[in-house]
């Protein structure tokens, strides 16, 4: 009886630990960085960099009918942000026939840079939103995932100098 209990417990622990060890989340296999660069009076270039773990990939920005979820960016305050360009991949995606989706898909692996130019229609101090993507390896896909981002709008150096001058004049 004790042998049966111990062996059953051991089997249960092994199954539980192996299933926990192999479960992965999209945020574990894809890490994001983002930056903002001023390119005009109200124009900015937003750069989103994905670092994808070895043997994993994320899909390109071009939607495929009945295919995977493409990588995309959505902004919280869409009234203050007007895209100048689409979200563009700086690296060329790999295109293959995917048996799982039954169509040709395009994806990226390793490190990928996505860039979008935007124009602010009003004064705002930050840009908030989500990056949506889908990560897969050769045998499985993780559910589509969203990562929140927040970027502070850089203040022009001339404005900072002007504020310092005002500060020192009135103290």
In a structure prediction context, what are the per-residue pLDDT tens digits for the chain, which is 171 residues long?
455 443 443 333 333 333 333 456 776 899 999 999 999 999 999 999 999 999 999 999 999 998 999 999 999 988 889 999 999 999 999 999 998 899 999 999 999 999 999 999 877 889 999 999 999 998 999 999 999 999 998 876 555 556 656 666 666
If you ran DSSP here, which 8-state letter would residue 123 be given?
-
Whole-model pTM: value is 0.76
Q: Side-chain half-sphere of 135: how many Cα atoms within 13 Å?
A: 23
Residue ranges and CATH numbers for the domains of the chain are 27-166 (2.60.40.1250)
CA dist 166 → 123, 128, 156 (Å): 21, 31, 16
Residues whose CB is less than 8 angstroms from the CB of residue 160 and which lie 6 or more positions away in sequence, other chains included: none
CB 97 within 8 A of CB 103: yes
């Amino acid at each position: 009886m004790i042998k049966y209990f111990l062996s059953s417990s051991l089997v249960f622990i092994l199954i539980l630990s192996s299933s926990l060890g192999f479960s992965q989340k999209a945020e574990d296999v894809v890490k994001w960085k983002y930056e903002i660069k001023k390119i005009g009076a109200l124009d900015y270039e937003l750069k989103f960099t994905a670092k994808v773990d070895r043997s994993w990939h994320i899909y390109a920005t071009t939607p495929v009918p009945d295919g995977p979820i493409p990588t995309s960016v959505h902004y919280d305050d869409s009234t203050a942000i007007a895209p100048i360009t689409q979200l563009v991949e700086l690296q060329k995606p790999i295109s293959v026939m995917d048996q799982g989706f039954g169509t040709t898909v395009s994806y990226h692996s390793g490190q990928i840079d996505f860039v979008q130019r935007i124009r602010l229609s009003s004064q705002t101090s930050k840009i908030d939103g989500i990056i949506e993507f889908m990560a897969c390896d050769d045998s499985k896909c993780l559910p589509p995932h969203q990562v929140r981002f927040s970027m502070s709008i850089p203040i022009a150096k001339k404005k900072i100098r002007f504020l310092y001058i005002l500060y020192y004049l009135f103290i």
